[in-house]
Structure 1
Amino acid sequence: MNPIDQPIDRGVDVLLTGTDTPFRGETCRGLAVLRLFALIGCVASFWPYDAVAGKTVVLSTLEWPPFASSRLHDFGATGRIITEAFAARGYEVRFSFNPWPVSVDMARTGADHVVAYFPGYHCRHRENFLESDPVGSSPLGFAERVDAPISWRTLDDLGEQQLKIGTVFGYTNTEEFDRRVGIGWIRAIPSENDADNLRRLLRGRIDAAVIDKHVFRYLVATEERLAQAVDELQFNDHPITEARFYVCFYGDAEGVSMRDVFNAGLATLDIDKRLAEYMNNLAVDVRTLPNERDPNR
């Protein structure tokens, strides 16, 4: 997470808030003089007018490609699944992109009509949130240098070897990992985001970095500095866990109702198939890592 908190022009309803990422809403946000026309243009370009006036749900999230991103088709792999699940129950979806703590707090306070945030490995970041049914899963593990791989069987091994492990401010990992970090057994070196961790790993400032496997693949393929060192990094072959993702709804009457609507729509989808299709299509766009390419091509 490394977005810049910028003042938000509340006169124009755009989804990208508190970030510096390029997004089609940016143009509309800047037209303060033509505020009314910009509002009409922005909304019309994203969603039909009758959908905005009718059954629309707003969720907050962060820039965490390939699962959630204002830059990606369908707003990321998880964004696509959420959109399709709500669509199955007749709802349109709007996404608000923010720093992670802001996204969680928006769902807690109901700011900008947000009823839920995602993706969470759990929904205990704040009190009184309810988990949806899982919206997918992905391996959570360690990025490491090819020339200095880490060897471990249990999380205690990381502490015994006094390894410096890169983490991200505000992110939860697994309960057991985070508990060992909390008591000082695992030496965690926090950073602002996953990309910063990988750059520090390249410079030898940490021994490994906790990261989702698909996030790792995406960053190494798309971040210029990391792409230049594609042969120097790899994903450790022993994942910590297969982490499930959830949408977290606030536990008031509206949140309970929308959670039930969402779960009903989600039940109509083959989630694993949808995720695999999205990741495969994304690989065509950003390229896969050398050791994951088809040798017969």
Structure 2
Amino acid sequence: MLFGSSAALAGSASPVPADSTRIIRLSSLEWPPYTGASLPRQGAITAVIAAALASMGYRLEVQYFPWTRATALIKHNSPFAGYYPEYFSAGLAREFLISDPIGSGPLGFAYHAAAPVQWGSMADLSTYRIGVVEGYVNTDEFDTRVRQGKQMVDAAVNDKQNLRKLAARRVPLVLIDRRVYDHLIRNDADLRPLAPTLRFHPRLLEDKQLYICFRPNAEGARVRAIVNEGLKRIDIEAVLAAALSAGGAN
């Protein structure tokens, strides 16, 4: 039995058949404003995928899990063709079939207002223990430095836990998407009171493209082809912007 929240989303394009063979099932996590069962259109990135599938006559169904479970389900017997959203890495490309980009997000660092950190290169960060989320891909350079022991990290189960650690000054920096940071600070009841103590560094690490990872088999290849063709038929940035606006983000 699968545990998590689930929902279906048809998108805003032409009517989608109710035929169960025209349903694409994906796993994801609660990562507002990009994904989430309670968000308008289930989040901005979900809206992009739903619109792409609707343009091809398919309907999207998403089930939400903690991140490590959302990704692990694709490696085992489950009803999901893939998971999202994911940053690209060479390692993932060897494990999964990767979609065309489904949007992007500004990845950077949050810091404590009482202890700002200035940096110009990754080497400048080597003396800091940086909060990351367990199982997340970050940037190639950052993750390589972590593997090589050149960058200290402190892993949390999610972004919210990392921001609480930052507010308590248990870590000096947290690696996080700027839109995710903004959404959590504005909307999470536990984090709102901490907002005056936290800041997002103006220097971005990277504007990261987001992708779907599909099973590395014939079914994964079939669904990837459907999604990729659908992405060509829609204005990804327009759908993303509209969904972000509907959710109060930018």
TM-score (norm 2): 0.90
Unaligned runs of 5+ in 1: 1-7, 9-16, 26-41, 289-297
Q: CA deviation at 1:128?
A: 3.7
CA–CA separation in structure 1 for the residues paired with 2:41 and 2:3 = 20
Equivalent of 1:188 in 147, 153, 160: 153
Structure 2 residue aligned with 1:216: 181
Structure 1 residue aligned with 2:137: 172
- The yes-or-no answer on 1:54 pairing with 2:39 is no
Structure 2 residue aligned with 1:72: 39
Q: Deviations over 1:145-197 (max 9, x none)?
A: 222211001111001xx112101111110111011112222111111111111
SS at match of 2:233: coil
Match for 1:117: what amino acid? Y
- The yes-or-no answer on 1:260 pairing with 2:225 is yes
Report 1:130-141 matches (<5 A). Answer: 130-141=97-108
Q: Deviations over 1:126-155 (max 9, x none)?
A: 844111110000110001122221100111
CA–CA separation in structure 2 for the residues paired with 1:18 and 1:150 = 40
Structure 2 residue aligned with 1:226: 191
- Contact 1:18 1:99 survives alignment (8 Å): no
Report 1:41-120 matches (<5 A). Answer: 51-111=18-78, 113-120=79-86
Percent identity, please: 33
SS at match of 1:65: coil
The alignment yields a C-alpha RMSD, in angstroms, of 2.4
CA–CA separation in structure 2 for the residues paired with 1:243 and 1:262 = 20
CA 1:76–1:277 in 2, change beyond 3 Å: closer, same or farther?
same
CA–CA separation in structure 2 for the residues paired with 1:126 and 1:273 = 28
CA–CA separation in structure 1 for the residues paired with 2:135 and 2:3 = 16
CA–CA separation in structure 2 for the residues paired with 1:100 and 1:204 = 25
Structure 1 residue aligned with 2:204: 239
CA–CA separation in structure 1 for the residues paired with 2:77 and 2:34 = 23
SS at match of 1:228: helix
Number of paired residues?
246
Give the 4+ runs in structure 1 shifted more than 3 A. Answer: 45-50, 123-128
CA 1:117–1:80 in 2, change beyond 3 Å: closer, same or farther?
same
Bigger relative contact order, structure 1 or 2 (CA pairs below 8 A, ≥6 apart): 2
Q: Deviations over 1:23-46 (max 9, x none)?
A: 5x6xxxxxxxxxxxxxxxx99x99
CA 1:273–1:50 in 2, change beyond 3 Å: closer, same or farther?
closer
